[in-house]
Amino acid sequence: MSTTTFAAVSAVKQRSDSEFSVDLSPAWTIGGRPNGGYLLATIARAATVVSGHPDVLAASAHYLRSPEPGPAEIEVEVLRTGRTATQLRGRLLKDGVPQVEALLTLGVLGEAEPFWQDGVPQAEFGAFSDEPWGQAELPSGIPIAIRDEIDVRFDRPLAAGPSGRGELRGLLSLPGDEPFDPVSLLFAVDALPPATLDIAPSGWVPTLELTAYVRAHPAPGPVRVLHRAHLIGDGRVDESCHVWDSAGTLVAQGTQLAGIRIG
């Protein structure tokens, strides 16, 4: 696993009150294209500089194009600043062409226990493998460069083939055991392979839209991730993701709509 931290590869450089530059890493790619959660995290990193509030609470991104790695620009617009939250619009551009459009809400994450919850899946995981997920490519032959940057261990070997449940359960660590924070949790909800691998082999599953909620500051250590597919049809699939920290606290949730081609 790489020792280059997520904070370093998602770092932004401020050029003006609302403009930033970023160098998209070729290492955080699938098929030569940057991971969608990674792209959203770079926009969020810029938003935290502009916002009057420190923590990402919610973020939603539409992926207009899949940028190549290398220099890119980020523009951030403050839509509203209130007492408890700041709403912003973020845009990632490549050579002046919009690639990702995002809306974000930033505030202050509390430490209180949940008052009530229902419909949240249980954090039930089997024994994780001693060996990290290390396949160099998807079954379709698409290279997975990001596999060398993160440590993912599943509680069921992917080599065993699809179970038909449409879910993956993994233990995720950042390079150098870097602690997760609200920004890197935006990557965590999109870090695992598509849950459709537990149904049938497919080609690239590009994210069309990704929404993430950050619920708490994570405790140090790896996070446990439950990634589920729900409905596949008309060349699209929707997936949900739940992320628990090392203390068992639900720290992030995500949903996404992605394109898919089975077979």
Per-residue pLDDT of the chain (263 residues; tens, 9 = 90+): 666 899 999 999 999 999 999 999 999 999 899 999 999 999 999 999 999 999 999 999 999 999 999 999 999 999 999 999 999 999 999 999 999 999 999 999 998 889 999 999 999 999 999 888 766 666 567 788 999 999 999 999 887 889 999 999 999 999 999 999 999 999 999 999 999 999 988 777 899 999 999 999 999 999 999 999 999 999 999 999 999 999 999 999 999 999 998 86
CA distance 9 to 29: 12
- Residue with structure tokens 């396949």? 135
Helix (H, G, I), strand (E, B) or coil at 223: strand
pTM for this entry: 0.96
Position 159 scores a pLDDT of 78
Q: Alpha carbon of 216 to those of 113, 130, 204, 219: distances in Å?
A: 10, 28, 31, 9
Position 213 scores a pLDDT of 98
Position 138 scores a pLDDT of 64
Position 101 scores a pLDDT of 98
Position 168 scores a pLDDT of 96
Tell which residue, 171, 168, 174, has the closest CA to residue 226: 168
Position 140 scores a pLDDT of 62
Cβ-in-10-Å burial (0-12, 13-18, 19+) of 203 comes to: middle
Position 144 scores a pLDDT of 86
- CA–chain centroid gap for 38, Å, is 6
Position 136 scores a pLDDT of 64
- Residue with structure tokens 């628990």? 244
CB 71 within 8 A of CB 97: no
176: which DSSP letter?
G
Two structure tokens written together for 123: 């954090």
